[in-house]
Amino acid sequence: EKRNIDDSLKCVFRERDAAEEELRRLQAECRKLDKEVVAAANRHTTRSSCADSESLRWRSVLWTSTADMGQFGVGIQLYFELVKNLGMAFAVMALFAFPLFAANVSGTMLPSGVVFSFAQTTIGNLGTRPNFPVGTPAEVIQD
C-alpha cells in the first residue's frame, strides 16, 4: 500500500513539474508576443502620425508648415492655419493694447494705499487724482 502511495505521489509530482514547465514556456512565449505587439504598435503609430512619409521620422513642431500638414487632410491643414492666424491676430491686438494698459497702470485715480489690483488696469485709473480737501463741507470752509 505504501508503494501505491509513493507511486501516486511521484505521478502527481511529475504532473506538477510538467505543468510548471508548460507554464514557464507559455510565459516566455507571452513575453515574446508582447514585444512583437509593442513593436507593431510603435510602427503603426509612426506610420499613422505626423511623420515624414519617406523616412518615417517625427516632424519638427516648429518647422512643419501648414501646407505639409495638408497630406493628412484638408481639415487638418485648415485647422492649423486658423490657429496660426488667430495667434498672430491676438499678438497684434496685444501690441496695440499695451500702451493703454501701461497708461492705466501709471494712473493715480485710485485711492492711496491700494496695492496692485485689477482696478489699476482699467480706464477708471487713467489720469492724475486731484488733491481735494478731505472732510465735511463745514470743516473744509473753516480751513
How many Cβ atoms from other residues are within 10 Å of residue 125's Cβ?
Answer: 19
- Gap between the Cα atoms of 45 and 39, Å rounded: 10
pLDDT score recorded for residue 82: 96
The arithmetic mean of pLDDT across residues 41-60, rounded, is 77
C-alpha cell at 101: 494698459
Condensed to tens digits (0 to 9), the pLDDT of residues 116-127 reads: 788 888 888 888
Please give the DSSP secondary-structure letter assigned to residue 59: P
Read off the pLDDT of each residue in 32-43 and give the average, rounded to a whole number.
92
Q: How many CA atoms lie within 13 A of 95 on its CB side?
A: 6
